[in-house]
Amino acid sequence: MTELNQQNCQACRADAPQVSDAELAVLVNQIPDWAVVVRENIMQLEREFKFKNFKQAIAFTNRVAEMAEVEGHHPALLTEWGKVTITWWSHSIKGLHKNDFVCAAKTDTLLAD
């Protein structure tokens, strides 16, 4: 299986299926630093990233934004002094799609860069 961070997002229509419970169990193990959260009955992936200052946090936010534009899939981003909280989910299906896991893995790669 290709690593998630090496894959690209696929077009996700409103009738696309959300990940199944079995798929969720496999995919979540590939991004162990991310939490599955439920807000307003919508399953999402979330992670908080720590930085030494605001300048590093905003630089990381901008790298995530660039990747999101390339993938055509956009997270919720909360940038604060010393931290960035990123939340991925697929708005069109009101839940998690494989694209969210791909982008979470790509986000982790950006941290390592």
CA 109/CA 59 separation, integer angstroms: 14
Q: Please tell me the pTM assigned to this model.
A: 0.93
Summarised one tens digit per residue, pLDDT across range 62-94 is 999 999 999 999 999 999 999 999 999 999 999
Q: Which CATH number fits domain 17-112: 3.40.50.12240, 3.30.1360.20, 3.40.50.1100, 3.40.630.190?
A: 3.30.1360.20
CA 45/CA 17 separation, integer angstroms: 17
Yes or no: say if 29 and 107 are a contact pair by the CB < 8 Å rule.
Answer: no
- With both helix axes pointing from N to C terminus, report the angle between 98-112 and 54-71 in degrees, rounded to the nearest 10: 140
Yes or no: say if 65 and 76 are a contact pair by the CB < 8 Å rule.
Answer: no
Longest dimension (CA), the chain: 42
Q: Structural domain boundaries of the chain?
A: 17-112
Summarised one tens digit per residue, pLDDT across range 28-65 is 999 999 999 999 999 999 999 999 999 999 999 999 99
CA 40/CA 35 separation, integer angstroms: 16
